[in-house]
Structure 1
Amino acid sequence: MKHHIVSKHIMLRLGLLLLLAAQGASAAMSGREVMELANHRAYYSGGDRSSTGQVVVKERGGTMRTRSTHMVRLDDTPGGEQSYLVYFSGPTDMEGTTFLVHKHPGKTDERWLYLPELDIVRRIEAGDKRTHFVGTDLFYEDVSGRHLDADRHSLTSETDKYWIVRSEPKDPNEVEFAWYESWVHKDTHLAVKIEYHDRNDRLYRRFSVKKVRNIGGIPTPMQTLLEDLNTGSQSTMSCLEVEYGRGLSPDLFSERSLRHPPLKQIKLSAAP
């Protein structure tokens, strides 16, 4: 019963925020409310999501590395519990590597990584969530998203097109950044740019959306860029195909799927 009450509350709150945004009632929107819209758009659209894609990592010296991925996501409750499974189909030395996330807003997320060459499942500890994900510029936390309640959000300014929100960590010792600023598009609710600053107020990390496509009425980022301004490395994430609402089974997200991923259910037609 409590589960249904919480889910209903989240849906009612989201509905109110969408109504305010649609009516252009930006003066009534707080930084927290803007980030709720952006979080829903980025991580909860469609109830479930399947995608194939590639991550191209380009280092300062020009060296390039490519990872081919298949990812599935299933929401248990809107804005609440959800699961992710990411399977790497290339390059050869990474084929079979699988990442599983059970996301628990308000609690510690559970993360596991299967390394086929060693045939081991590694538990990603909470303290490692801000470390690099399989040799890319992504952090483990980036895959499923940072919890909204981990930061304080303030609407600092806005334009005709964007809300601009500054977010500061509630526990500064838990993260490497001092604050970050998000540009959230008023029509799509996508955070099209996020800039991270260190304790010296120096910009050191930038995320940006480069291409967007409307899929079933959902504005979907098809290409994004993550830049590490300290090292000069950058990772370009490209979606080759995205589907929402496939009716994915919760069984896909068991620990058994790490060693034995259900490829027929994971892969889409545009497999890299």
Structure 2
Amino acid sequence: MTYSIVARDRETGQFGVAVASRFFAVGAVVPHMAGGIGAIATQAFISPLYGTDGLEMLKRGASAREVVDAVTGRDAGAHSRQLHVMDVRGGIAAFTGEKCVDWAGHVQGEGVSVAGNMLAGPQVVRETLAAYEAGEGMPFAERLLAAMEAGERAGGDKRGRQSAALRIHRGEAYPWIDIRTDDHADPLAELRRLLAVAGERYLHVAETLPTSDNVSGMLDRSVIDLRIAELEDRRKAEGRASASHASPPR
């Protein structure tokens, strides 16, 4: 019922998962990850335990293959499930149960895995992977979203569209960005709008957040505030409306 991409940015070490589906709130159940640990996407006749338990295994140093073998090996319903995993060493492992609804399967590249089920055909995962690989040099979030859009153009979920999500972790347990479209006729387009909204303010404020290496975060946010103001002034000067649907300030 879903296709997704799991990747690690070679330049920054960031982990990311993007996913789309003809299913409500797919971002609530598919992606599981932590900075400096790894990333998992669990889907098809979904078991959230593949994500939660698998992530705990990755934290203890397990490889991607060990995670896949462990969570599927204990599960009598594994034949109807799908997951793919990337560990901190860059190892990738994937599993597509033999009873997943056609078309179902997975492909891999260097630092990237794409998997899906209930798809229009194998071209969906192939085109998603190809677009990601062709996007080297793009900002990581843009690269993941562009890959998903290529998969949608190739047919996507054969039942239609409803939800999508994008989550990226830097070096922390909490996400750097975590945006979701839970119920929308064109969820990837809406996700792109949300990414644009994040770029207006949120992603700049995110630079001030405390980290494991600096538990107080950025105490003087004047530089960030100035940057946000400059971007807003430029947008207005160019005649571009904000991407946000927020109400005007009171």
Normalised TM-score (structure 2): 0.33
- Where is the helix percentage greater, Structure 1 or Structure 2? 2
- Where is the strand percentage greater, Structure 1 or Structure 2? 1
Normalised TM-score (structure 1): 0.31
